[in-house]
A and B are shown apart, each in its own frame.
Chain A
Amino acid sequence: MAIVATQSKLGKIVWPVLAWTVALLFFFPIFWMILTSFKTDADAVKPEFLFRFTPTLENYTNMTDNYDYWRFATNSIITSVSATLFTLFVAVPCAYAMAFNPSRGTKDILMWMLSTKMLPAAAVLYPMIFLTKSLGIYDTKFLIVMVLSLINLPIAIWMLFTYFKDIPKDIIEAGQMDGLTTWGEVKEILVPLAWGGIASTALLIFIFCWNEAYWTVRLTTTEAATLSKLIEGNRAPEGLFFGRLSAVSTAAVGPIIVLGWFSQKQLVQGLTFGAVK
């Protein structure tokens, strides 16, 4: 008994300390980035000024005045939101069909969808650039929405498929007996029952879209450029301006951190939906 008691007492100290250490380890770079964004470029590279420095908003004013931050931010919001909605619009019916009316090929189709994620993006970079340029859609928001949707569709379908699979088929069939059309099944039964799963899928896809850099940087110049492009563009020939770069990065990462923070509960709930049914 005594041993168990001391062990659990020890556990009460050790685990929280460990958890906090890991959390701080993860959080520190972000904290550092935020701090640096309030320093001048000169101060930013001096280790002795890590915590002691005179804060300045210069980097932020510079960013909005000279770099047109809001245009990039608006592009990011428009493309991410549209891509998320379009992805769900395609993925929900698709996952519904595969979960409730599976055919012999359903497993193969799921595998095939996942396999599209296995191709290195770089392998199709040049074909994509030539193709989109000749189609005249290079550097358009339409292209970015399509690309973001297509690269995220497999994940969205897989996630939704697993959530939908947890809904007993009997309930859908009861709905059919009670007079529901296919659309009614989705609206009256599927969406209310899988709401947590759909919300967390949407959230995750939105985050992926917002963070996407590979394609958004390479398929845009000015018109459809997103915040990723803005960060990437802060590399000057003279070197890196850490103060400025940190400000831009903070402004790009900020919205997603805030969103994640407020939807934490929903995210966790959604991700464990199947387990607690």
Chain B
Amino acid sequence: MGRIQLKAVQKKFGDVEVIPPLDLTIEDGEFAVFVGPSGCGKSTLLRMIAGLEELTSGQVEIDGKDMTLAPPSTRGLAMVFQSYALYPHMTVRKNIAFPLRMEKMDPAEIEKRVAVAAKSLNLTDYLDRKPGQLSGGQRQRVAIGRAIVREPSAFLFDEPLSNLDAALRVGMRLEISELHKRLENTMIYVTHDQVEAMTMADKIVVLQAGVIEQVGSPLELYNAPRNKFVGGFIGSPKMNQLEGEAAKKRGCTTIGMRPEHISVSPDSGEFKGTVGVAEQLGSDTFFHVHVEGHEETVTVRQSGQVNYGYGDTIYFTPEEDRVHKFGPDGLRVE
């Protein structure tokens, strides 16, 4: 059980309103990701759910119960911190057992649960070490272990992978997704990395300056971004956005073209441009093209290894049914 409902929650730091009143529901068992640029209030929102940050106004309900004023310890939520926040003076075993000891659980049962958690996280050999003797990935696992033994109604992750190196991050991402499939618990995950959001989430909440820009499944957000911001934020490489003649022709102010929805030709097409940097990834090639008559550079993705070099003139055309149109207010128009 773990249905979390935010009703008109608002947060001010002094006179600065970081989160204007906001409503959001996270269903039981859902993997929700809060994503947005730094300073968009996503961590603050998570901390308000956790009870670590007071609400200026509004209500937090967990499983239908009003928890607005409840201290963090009574909300039945477990949190994994960016810094891991392990207890440095305790061994791995004691760290994982800690929340159970606080619940005054039977020591034999604690022992059993710690062993199960340690096994599932490959920590069995490290149980008697202190956190200082572990690598970053292992520490992260301990933090997750400490969260799962409690069998909380929901997990809160606050940018848990941002201190890990790139290779480890991909591995841990999979492990967390796997954990979600296995436990079927509600999870709320905060990140600024849209790749993490796309790959892990059932539901993505895109935030900017404390305001929810869009809520939806990863593919909904990818296929039908509600505004220019979401269009630019979701998807990698970024969506190209052009104004001017091409937009006017399609009856809008801005058109959005994803790099993967553009076809290239050496002799004809809608836009003409010169190739700047070409990034060869082996599986794909990204061209950064300076478009004639536009300030912006357009990124084009071609499958496989395509050989256009620096300074070559090329023509490109977007796939018409995948062009996103935005009005003067930045909102999507159909």
Chain A interface residues (CB < 8 Å from chain B): 168, 170-171, 173-181, 184, 189, 192-193
Contact = CB atoms under 8 A, between A and B. Distances in A.
Nearest to B73: A179
Contacts of B52: 173, 176-177
B126 interface: no
B50 A177 contact: yes
A181 B73 contact: yes
A184 B83 contact: no
A168 B73 contact: no
A177 B79 contact: yes
B102 A178 contact: yes
Contacts of B73: 176-181
B315 interface: no
Given A174-B86, A174-B146, A178-B98, 20 more contacts: A168-B85, A170-B81, A171-B85, A171-B86, A171-B87, A171-B88, A173-B72, A174-B85, A174-B87, A175-B87, A176-B71, A176-B72, A177-B79, A178-B99, A178-B102, A178-B150, A179-B73, A184-B102, A189-B87, A193-B89
A168 B72 CA distance: 18
A166 B51 CA distance: 23
B101 to A, nearest CB: 9
B221 interface: no
Contacts of B81: 170, 173-174
B88 A193 contact: yes
A88 B174 CA distance: 48
A31 B71 CA distance: 59
Given A171-B87, A173-B52, A179 B78 contact: no
A170 B85 contact: yes
Contact of A179 (B86, B87, B88, B103): B103
Nearest to B52: A173
A104 to B, nearest CB: 8
Given A173-B52, A193-B88, A193-B89, A178 B83 contact: no
A107 to B, nearest CB: 15
Nearest to A191: B89
Interface of B is mostly: loop
A178 B76 CA distance: 9
By Cβ-Cβ distance, the 4 closest A-B pairs, closest first, are A179-B102, A170-B85, A174-B85, A178-B99
25 contacts: A168-B85, A170-B82, A170-B83, A170-B85, A171-B86, A171-B88, A173-B52, A173-B72, A173-B79, A173-B85, A174-B79, A174-B86, A174-B87, A174-B146, A175-B87, A176-B73, A177-B99, A178-B73, A178-B146, A178-B150, A179-B73, A180-B73, A181-B73, A184-B102, A193-B88
B89 A179 contact: no
A71 to B, nearest CB: 43
B52 to A, nearest CB: 5
Contacts of B102: 178-180, 184
B89 A177 contact: no
Nearest to B150: A178
Please indicate which of the listed interface residues A171, A174, A180, A189 has the most CB atoms of chain B within 10 Å of its own CB. A174
B56 to A, nearest CB: 16
B77 interface: yes
Nearest to B51: A176
Nearest to B90: A192
A188 to B, nearest CB: 8
B112 to A, nearest CB: 19
B83 A168 contact: yes
B78 A177 contact: yes
A154 to B, nearest CB: 29
Contacts of A173: 52, 72, 79, 81, 85
